[in-house]
Amino acid sequence: MIRTTLLLALLSAFPISQAATASTHDALRTVSERSGFQSTGRYDEVVRLCGEFQKAWPKQVKCFQFGTTPEGRPMLALAVNARGALTPAGARKAGLPVTLIQGGIHAGEIDGKDAGFLALRELLEGRVAPGVLDKQVLLFVPVFNVDGHERFGRWNRPNQRGPVEMGWRATAQNFNLNRDYVKADAPEMAAMLTLIEAWDPLVTVDLHVTDGAKFQHDVSIQVEPVHGADAGLRQAGLAFRNGVVADISRQGSTPQTYYMSFNQLDDPSSGFADTVYEPRFSTGYFPLRNRMTMLVETHSWKDYPARVRITHNSIVSTLQQVADHGKAWMQTALEADARAAGLAGQPVALSYRTTDKTTMVDFQGYAYTRTMSDVSGATMIHYDESKPQVWHVPLRDEVVPDAQADAPRAGYLVPAAWASTVEPKLKLHGIAYRRLDQALHGAALQTYRADKATFAATSFESHQRLKTEGSWKPEARDVGAGALFVPIAQAKARLVMALFEPQAPDSLLAWGEFNNAFERKEYMEEYVAEDVAREQMAQDPALAAEFRHKVESDPAFARNPRARLEFFARRHASWDERLNLYPVMRSDVAL
């Protein structure tokens, strides 16, 4: 295993030298470049190149470790700036935007690593986009999922053309990091969020290779905010997207601005749909921080040289866009921060949906047939790449808010018993909160009780997810000292609501962090419940009449002995009043 000590030894071995001046510096060429972009190197190459770039440009490049993987490998990043602003404090002092280029979150989709090192060398040599590194700090993470990268082998992605060998989609702990941004289970994600909180990138680019069908288009470029999050930031997001699309189109690419996956599996005629991703994804997460993010998805059926070229062009274009507009976009982002801090009491979208409104588009595909397979017994599609074909198909591209909630007027309150569940997440996301030193007695709060709680049948990303139906209602509650108060008046207000609103798709509740609160622990034996029921009916004729009416009017209830006894158990003093009570409350006053 590559460990931290090896990294430090490698870096200390590189003496400071004069800046490199030409691409003849053979030490800066990747395995991929040497192979004509047929292969990709192992992670020891990333360690070596990180140090070599710092050695060649000691005043412009800093190689540093920002985390350690579960298998003990260093997570490396390169900070790059022509003016030597190579720390978060340096970037802030210089007033420079930070652009984060992230490769290898899915380590089998490794175009970003090789394209990023190539672009970085050309930028530092002044061969492409001269001057862009004067106007921003580039933060380059060649491989996010390092342990997955080293699960190296042929055919790790059988529906992808090259490189010869590649890494694995998930981490050593089998986490999909691009489902982990909000819940932040993986040590790698904790390290990444700490990096993000320190540097506060204005723009993040997440480099992928798409799965899916065969067609002629070579890349998808998706940017947010465009459809969602802060309305004032959407124009900047749209300008960013349009700029990159225009740049790479001039260089021969055929980008689309939506993910090119059919509405119905293996049926091109069903067309496509644009969307806003949940915050478990990079493209859903960063807009909640009022920052811009771009998803680059090269097409898996293009060969590796083509995909690396397209990714390289997308990186360079991004840096040019930030150089040209970054100062203005930084101001727009700060204004979005201020608007978010004033969201108290206002409706906020928690999720989005694509409407059925369609536009017919011409999409560059191939001739295909759909026939019944004698292997799978299902209809299978076969493409003929020798016969280009234009598909005239529907595109659903109207995206509107779906689940919404009014922001609390002051904030959320987490009882001390649950603080240890919530506090680490708040710290990782850089969310402001405070701990209450004194107990509250009869505080006027809002509580959420689930009328219905449904646990997922299977595990997803190591969690049993939970879906509830219910609503917030006023209630006086006692709250002990040590509770956490999370104010809504902060720049990350949308992220706060994404964590705490029960109906938010990636809330802590939805990820099952509070499942215990929705599990019944205390029971009454049935023979005791029978006696209790008879005593209650004898003492309360109205209750007895209500029970008889329910038996007569609700056949399902009448046939269910457990439900009939529970009717009375819920009205007994032994019933757990905390059952299905969400252990997070809302407050209209700051605490």
To the nearest whole number, what is the mean pLDDT of the chain? 94
| Residue 266 confidence (pLDDT) | 87
Long-range (24+ apart) CB contacts under 8 A made by 86-89 are: 86/60, 86/61, 86/62, 86/137, 87/62, 88/198, 88/199, 88/200
Contact call for residues 501 and 356 (beta carbons, < 8 A): no
Residues 472 and 554 in one domain: no
Residues 422 and 389 in one domain: no
Residues 18 and 56 in one domain: yes
Q: Return the closest-CA partner of residue 113 out of 121, 126, 122, 103.
A: 103
Indicate if the pLDDT at residue 136 is higher than 80.
yes
Residue 166 lies in a domain: yes
Residues 423 and 561 in one domain: no
Helices assigned H by DSSP within 279-355? 282-285, 304-341
| Residue 330 confidence (pLDDT) | 98
Lowest mean pLDDT among 47-51, 61-65, 454-458, 574-578: 574-578
Give residue-wise pLDDT tens across range 249-306: 999 999 999 999 999 988 999 999 999 999 999 999 999 999 999 999 999 999 999 9
Residues 469 and 552 in one domain: no
Q: Return the closest-CA partner of residue 146 out of 161, 118, 168, 163.
A: 168
Give residue-wise pLDDT tens across range 149-193: 999 999 999 999 999 999 999 999 999 999 999 999 999 999 999
| Residue 115 confidence (pLDDT) | 98
For the entire predicted model, the pTM comes to 0.93
Amino acid at 412: Y
Residue 349 lies in a domain: no
Residue 269 lies in a domain: yes
Q: Can you tell me the mean pLDDT for 386-390?
A: 98
Q: Can you tell me the mean pLDDT for 348-376?
A: 96
Long-range (24+ apart) CB contacts under 8 A made by 555-559 are: none
Contact call for residues 431 and 496 (beta carbons, < 8 A): yes
Residues 44 and 70 in one domain: yes
Lowest mean pLDDT among 24-33, 64-73, 74-83, 426-435: 24-33
Q: Confidence band (pLDDT; 50, 70, 90) for 520?
A: very high
CB atoms within 10 A of CB 540: 13
Print the domain residue range for 394. 355-401
Q: Confidence band (pLDDT; 50, 70, 90) for 1?
A: very low
| Residue 567 confidence (pLDDT) | 93
| Residue 52 confidence (pLDDT) | 97
Q: Confidence band (pLDDT; 50, 70, 90) for 10?
A: very low
Number of separate helices (H) and strands (E) present in the chain? 16, 20
Residues 505 and 551 in one domain: no
